[in-house]
Amino acid sequence: MKRIAILFMALAIASVGFASTALSADKVVIKMAGMKPEGEPETLGMHKFGEILAKLSNGKYEVQVFPNSQLGKEDAYIANTRRGSIQMCATGTQTSALHPAMAMLETPMLFTDLDHARRAMQGKTFDLINEGFVEKSGLRTLNAFPLGFRHFYSKKPLNSMKDLDGLRMRVPNIPLYINFAKECGISGQPMPFAEVPSALDQGVIDGGDSPLVDINALKMYEITPNITLSGHILVIHSLYMNEKFYQSLPEQDRKWVDQAAKESADYVWDLMAKLETEAVDSIKAGGGVVSTPSPEFRDAMAKAGERSWKLFYDTVPNAKEILESAASYK
């Protein structure tokens, strides 16, 4: 009897070990690349996606996040995600090189506030922008989330469009951004962001624009104390997945991916609303002067934004429909 009991115990232990091995063998690893460092809203959202997917799938999926360009620069990891050597990535309007409509995620003067943008990005506007993207790129856009509105920081106060006339402001080397600056009367100076502090110190530029979180984190208000809440461009990024990989997943698993993408985007939308408020308070506490444009100033910027939309009419077949859709969510 004792021998039989020992035999049953050994078989039980062996079966548990086999089950563990099988479970481990069934685990699917998803590699996700990003450019932002740890602690940034985008990277926090990437980790949140992994946490939610692991919970929904009972541990079947393990998302390994590689932030801070660990898997290469944006163009490299986008290419690798399209190729399928990694399964996912986070990026912004870099994908407009594959599908011009993706640039419209950051249309100047399109959204009045985060709530307006959130409704559009969780509604038809997002679908219209992505129309045909999968077929062209081999990537699926899983969600859209904000990294903050861009606001002006400058050495002198900005009270009207006249104050922008001829002002030497750093702009990202992106045609849309450069064109919008020109429409505002700004003398746009394309340069990498890393060069901004020295350019300000040397008087090469008079200011620039960035999300409030970045202005606060880098203490830009110490060099350019005037922060104008222009909110002229909302920086929007997305999580992308290789389409072949997505389609290879069982139907239930695809639903888990979609749900994790939605919930992680919701997390970033909520987080950014909180961070922008905190950034304003911190900038003021640090000696920065935060001002809101007058209605006249805002209207003039809106008209400059609309003039810059010509770039979309020339390159995006459904641009008018996208713009009208976004306006409907105000």
What tens digit of pLDDT does each residue of 259-314 get? 999 999 999 999 999 999 999 999 999 999 999 999 999 999 999 999 999 999 99
CA distances from 135 to 12, 84, 263, 289 (A): 51, 15, 25, 47
> What are 152-190's pLDDT values in tens digits?
999 999 999 999 999 999 999 989 999 999 999 999 999
CA 52 to chain centre: 19
Note whether 57 and 71 are within 8 A (CB).
Answer: no
Helix (H) or strand (E) holding 139: strand 139-141
> What are 21-40's pLDDT values in tens digits?
233 458 999 999 999 999 99
Q: What global pTM score does this model have?
A: 0.89
Q: Where are the beta strands (DSSP E) in 243-324?
A: 289-291
Contacts of 239 (CB under 8 A, 6+ apart): 32, 45, 46, 49, 88, 89, 90, 141, 142, 143, 261, 264, 265
CA distances from 9 to 15, 19, 20, 21, 178 (A): 10, 15, 17, 18, 73
> What are 136-151's pLDDT values in tens digits?
999 999 999 999 999 9
- CATH number listed for the domain at residues 24-328: 3.40.190.170
